[in-house]
Structure 1
């Protein structure tokens, strides 16, 4: 029972964005994916969610090869994601952003609206229901985007740099939310982040990419003690942790 990349490669012409990448996320598990800019993190997310087909290897969803499934079918199969830019529907309020997603997943309008309202309450942001998405403060926009991704109770949630631009207290609140998503909803989470402290605080397993290849994987201790990771990405972060 997992969402996995199995020896995946992605090439764009002569450029290899990913080479022989394997990773997996199980229900209720939080896995981190870190690396410097251009390491291939977002390409991994795009492959896992059907936005990009692998040129080698495969994507497996609970044992089934889903490499050829497009994004909308992956979403209906229980694989959701957020984006670096929130991508909310600016002309709608927050409740309708979530409701539209529910309807797109096959729920009736009233059922989708009820689920959306319950999700916002569960996340502690019910006060945002009637707020226009276009006018939300940055952090609230990120929270609303996560709530929208949770519509339909996906088994897996891929978070693409959700803490970008957040203050330390806001990132701490986000970490608590991610833990709740995994523990209370049983959702497997893949966290792609530049905030290394956040990743190491919530993830049971961390995968490190550099140049489209995995250079290290393991728990907090393994990552912080890895010379390869320190040289490729962490630098001063490792010294200060």
Structure 2
């Protein structure tokens, strides 16, 4: 365990007696991209919910740079510098794209004027300034994903957790996402956790990858180690290979 990281230690969560997470240990270091992969129902989103204060663990702890996050609300955790996106986007559908980011800035303590300026700068930085006046509810799926990332980046968090950001993206759009994530790490000095079903994307960009299956981390290591792991191949990747998916 490093003192500078967003860390889960021996985290367990059960729902109605069904174990969703079992003694999960995971570190998200700063200025690195950490991957989290696993089949549907493996517990990935539950783990993100625990790391961001949306779900209290039954056992175990979450710390950020050595500070225990126990008892801190999801809003408090966001203000401390841990941001996330959601699989479903969760934009304010009746507001404009600019207002979606501006509302976040105000919620994080900026004045309306400051929040507007920050929101405009963020949209420009991501490369989607042209979407500023669009109503969020009318956006194409992939644009919605990019706006959600922009909203999460308001006030430049220390750690960013991306829950399936490449879902529905073409290969070209996924390449653009890789470039954006690399800029986030390099320019914002942010630690990123990438939860993805696009295995090629994860292997391409991540420094370290954790594999979650049935609530347990079954393997972790470099992309090369994950690609070479028989345990991963049989427990997770093998099922995709048999279905015509990515073969490692």
Q: TM-score range by the shorter chain?
A: over 0.9
RMSD: 1.2
1:132-176 CA distances to partner (integer Å, 9 max, x unpaired)?
A: 111111111100000000011110100000111111111111111
Cα deviation 1:10-46 (Å, max 9, x = unaligned): 1123111111101111211110000011111001100
Aligned residue for 1:147, secondary structure, equals helix
Residues 234 and 109 (structure 1), Cα distance of their counterparts in 2 relative to 1, 3 Å cut: same
Distance in 2 (alpha carbons) for counterparts of 1:157 and 1:94:
20
How many equivalent residue pairs?
A: 241
Q: For 1:49-60, list aligned pairs within 5 A.
A: 49-60=52-63
- Where does residue 133 of structure 2 map in the other structure? 130
**Which blocks of at least 5 consecutive residues in structure 2 are unaligned?**
none
Distance 1:207 1:120 in 2: 31
Which residue in the other structure is 1:90 paired with?
A: 93
State whether structure 2 residue 18 is matched by structure 1 residue 15. Answer: yes
Q: Call closer, same or farther: CA 1:190–1:239 in 2, change over 3 Å.
A: closer
The yes-or-no answer on 1:101 pairing with 2:129 is no
The aligned counterpart of 2:192 is 189
Residue pairs, 1:140-151, within 5 angstroms: 140-151=143-154
Q: Structure 2 CA distance, aligned partners of 1:190 and 1:158?
A: 5
Residue 230 (str. 1) matches residue 233 (str. 2): yes
TM-score by length of structure 2 reads 0.95
- Paired with 2:203 and 2:147, the residues of 1 have a C-alpha distance of 24
> TM-score w.r.t. structure 1 length?
0.97
SS in 2 for 1:89: coil
SS at match of 1:173: helix
> How far apart are residue 238 of structure 1 and its match?
8.8
Residue 170 of structure 1 corresponds to: 173
Q: 1:153 to 1:214 in 2, by over 3 A?
A: same
